[in-house]
Amino acid sequence: MESTTQIAIRAIREKAERSGFTLSDVAYAAGIDKAQVSRWSTGKVVPLYSAVINLQAACDALVEARLAQLQKESQA
């Protein structure tokens, strides 16, 4: 059974992938080691709540940047 952390990280991964990013991209943008994020997503380690929030914020920023880029390209 997945923990709430694993569910949250899966949701972050899915959102990132829909925009063409990987969870590694999100981890890099958040300044978190991708191996650490992998441990969180498998349930081997439970992260601090703030770490998951940082991961979500990084994902949101990447998606926003991608949307802005697409809008700029469509206006050109």
Q: What is the pLDDT of residues 23-70, one digit of tens each?
A: 999 999 999 999 999 999 999 999 999 999 999 999 999 999 999 999
7 pLDDT tier (thresholds 50, 70, 90):
very high
Q: Using CA atoms, how far apart are residues 7 and 5, in angstroms rounded to an integer?
A: 5
Q: Would you give the DSSP letter of residue 44?
A: S
**pLDDT at 6 (0 to 100):** 94
Q: Please give the structure tokens belonging to residue 26.
A: 């999100």
**pLDDT at 1 (0 to 100):** 87
- What is the torsion angle, in degrees rounded to the nearest 10, for the CA atoms of residue 62, residue 66, residue 72 and residue 76? 150
